[in-house]
Structure 1
């Protein structure tokens, strides 16, 4: 049975359906980036809220900026913007159809559909999931990079934006000229201080075009910081077949995820917000402690199991967690180097949080591939691993484990495993990383010269020494022996 509004009544009894009248829902949120994470996270919170009644003005209008988003749009619109989410763990599957998306704006290079939506007074929030590397942040400076060619192109061509941030500037310009209240800009990406990072990108373009517009945005527009969390692996053909065979449902865009989800958000909005506290969102005055906890312990932890696991020929996160050396490496680095430099989090035990992370990583039903966790290290390492190393260096603490984690990434980027098997390209900067890794085989310090990734950490004699020792050991003794030596030390 193909999923659609007409077939909702005939769903398998174990698949729940929207508990509200979708015809009464209007879009108050324009969301850019309809990937699996958004549809397993923000869209579900809105779906939960709509089911409570009284919030029909907070539906989601989907939007995309990449060519592949046009295919996403076609698939979702063919099933009335409905899709299935299957939460999976050892106890089984829990399925539901999500109906919080009202429509999907047309996808075009200059974002005409997005700009039309931004001009509507009903849109009061523009939210984003455009990946960690999509914010034009320089790891070398830690701030917005106004010299990026895409940003310079947007600055030079007001009215014809190429980036989503250029489109936001154009949308806010139109609302200002029309005398309308501006919308809130809310990042839902896994980026430290994501609201401030988004604000910097928007203001950077606006200031390059029109100083008075930038001042107006700076004064009038809210950019709340938020921490988001849910492990949401890629949707594979095998997963789609499982949905079809187990539940008799044909869905072009299903999502599979773990049961756990969390959203911590600052209560800073320009023109009202949905009552998300009613469905489990934590509103706090400062998200920073929660960000530190999640990004350093969970996202950093993913890197700690992904690269050694991949080099050992493992496939899934739960495989890595079942390997005593990989799990031991994760536990030692987290408990001796990462958790001690994570600031306290209100009403939270960091030890209990890490234990929950271990349990989530080991969930065999999620089947989160190590290749997905290894993806885009050039954008993830500067956010998830390098800052922990920087804090340890400042505090005079050991960085041996974090240096080994970085060396494992370098060894992975060589593009060839320990048994000469090919490691396929897995980063937007793969050619650069592969070349740097090959140079680093004989000169490990060359890897740390990528200042846009390592910044000051790459210049630290202590980190250079730890990294050099770790990378040499990986080449001389192999991954397994190197991990064992670290655990024995």
Structure 2
């Protein structure tokens, strides 16, 4: 172990007020920073216990550092570092699920937050309903020690109810439309199947505020760890790298109004997050996915590499022209200015956000990032050739071979099904993948068949670079 490992001598620390499920790089670069700023500005006991739902890697990296780590802001003028020390512990759920439930049932814990990605909610992306065929859900319905994020929420709330402890606020921080309502629905559905009285108690007393979160956070690499050691003179095994921009819009609806002073940290506390959420999901996440699939197929490693290509720079702006008529701007926001700011963020050469990373779990992301906009445009009689090309790009990507015939490492819960469903032809692949009702509602699939087939024919015949040029002419 390096002698100069990052370590903060802490004689005291805030009591734990938050348990966070899914402690990955994003929440450490985003939520932990906001909470640190909120406590610095307004005090309060809002220390965080993180929970890794799968791997011990984050716990093992942070424990020798007493849970502190370096937050690195990647600006075009150079990196800026800051040590974040709001974590009190990191638990690994598969090793000791009871310890996780015990932490969630501590009366001092008033918030359980989540960044478990779209697939972590074990729902059907096309409908938002709890996926009753999911093996973890089937397990959690009959076992007190759960495996899934919804299972942990329900079983912890069940124990709090039995002990006469108020419920915690469930604060989802994942990119899902109406994310608060979605996780509430999933939790109530599972709770009702376990104990209808429990579901009634949660429905009456629980709170599930909606949120919109935004900060581009690439996966940390070994090279990043070396860079941080050079910058600080200390070895940090788990730094987080992120862009300067951050935005957190939060519906101000917490159990007993109990929360950190997030507004003091720069968050927007609002009555309705929907407009912020819709704008971000469609304009940022939608174009991020479009650039990821088509950029990857064109041989671009990162988003900044992709938009440095003039053809893709024109393409993403054309996507925004198709998206903006389907977006109601939040108060005080000009969508054209928002798109310009997004482009500048994408083009930041210091952010090495890999197209392959963004392309993960597309079957879970497509409905909210692209399909909602496509449906709105179809309903309004507007054509969407650039967005249809993005869907075709996703189809070519998940079919599992790139334009040179080399295999693609597709990371997706439906990867095997999609690869086996795809055919060797553009037309056959479009028809086959549109038939997957886990992703495409039947009525929308029928409307998309012709325009996506047209885009796919160009993509398969001419490749991604030529296809994006044609769609912008």
In the superposition, the TM-score normalised over structure 1's length comes to: 0.92
- In the alignment, structure 1 residue 280 sits paired with structure 2 residue 280: no
Alignment partner, residue 266 of structure 1: 251
Give the direction of change, closer, same or farther, for the CA distance of 1:242–1:228 in structure 2 (3 Å limit): same
Give the direction of change, closer, same or farther, for the CA distance of 1:54–1:333 in structure 2 (3 Å limit): closer
- In the alignment, structure 1 residue 5 sits paired with structure 2 residue 8: yes
Q: What is the CA-CA distance between 1:65 and the residue it aligns to?
A: 1.6
Alignment partner, residue 16 of structure 2: 27
- In the alignment, structure 1 residue 359 sits paired with structure 2 residue 347: no
- Which of 17, 25, 38 is matched with 1:36 structurally? 25
Alignment partner, residue 68 of structure 2: 82
CA deviation string 1:96-115 (max 9, x = no partner): 00011112235335611111
Q: What is the CA-CA distance between 1:59 and the residue it aligns to?
A: 1.1
Q: Which runs of 4+ in 1 moved over 6 A?
A: none
Structure 2: 5+ residue runs without aligned partners? none
Give the direction of change, closer, same or farther, for the CA distance of 1:296–1:105 in structure 2 (3 Å limit): same
Q: What is the CA-CA distance between 1:457 and the residue it aligns to?
A: 5.3
- In the alignment, structure 1 residue 343 sits paired with structure 2 residue 343: no
CA deviation string 1:205-263 (max 9, x = no partner): 11001111110010001111111010000001111111122332211111000000010
Secondary structure of 1:460's partner? helix
Contact 2:427 2:453 in 1 (8 A): no
Q: What is the CA-CA distance between 1:287 and the residue it aligns to?
A: 0.4
Separation of aligned partners in 1, 2:355 and 2:455: 21
- Which of 51, 60, 76 is matched with 1:63 structurally? 51
- Which of 51, 75, 88 is matched with 1:102 structurally? 88
Contact 1:315 1:371 in 2 (8 A): yes
Secondary structure of 2:260's partner? coil
Alignment partner, residue 238 of structure 1: 223
Q: What is the CA-CA distance between 1:327 and the residue it aligns to?
A: 1.4
Separation of aligned partners in 2, 1:200 and 1:440: 39
Separation of aligned partners in 1, 2:280 and 2:42: 32
Give the direction of change, closer, same or farther, for the CA distance of 1:319–1:218 in structure 2 (3 Å limit): same
Alignment partner, residue 312 of structure 1: 298
Separation of aligned partners in 2, 1:182 and 1:24: 24
Separation of aligned partners in 2, 1:423 and 1:80: 39
Q: What is the CA-CA distance between 1:181 and the residue it aligns to?
A: 1.6
- Which of 354, 370, 373 is matched with 1:369 structurally? 354
- In the alignment, structure 1 residue 48 sits paired with structure 2 residue 37: yes
Alignment partner, residue 137 of structure 2: 151
Q: What is the CA-CA distance between 1:308 and the residue it aligns to?
A: 1.6
Separation of aligned partners in 1, 2:122 and 2:11: 37
Contact 1:146 1:204 in 2 (8 A): no
In the superposition, the TM-score normalised over structure 2's length comes to: 0.95
Give the superposed CA RMSD.
1.6
Q: How does 1:378-457 map to 2 (within 5 A)?
A: 378-443=363-428, 444-456=430-442
The more displaced of 252-261 and 417-426 is 417-426
Separation of aligned partners in 1, 2:255 and 2:39: 21
Alignment partner, residue 12 of structure 1: none
Separation of aligned partners in 1, 2:126 and 2:115: 23
Q: What is the CA-CA distance between 1:487 and the residue it aligns to?
A: 1.5
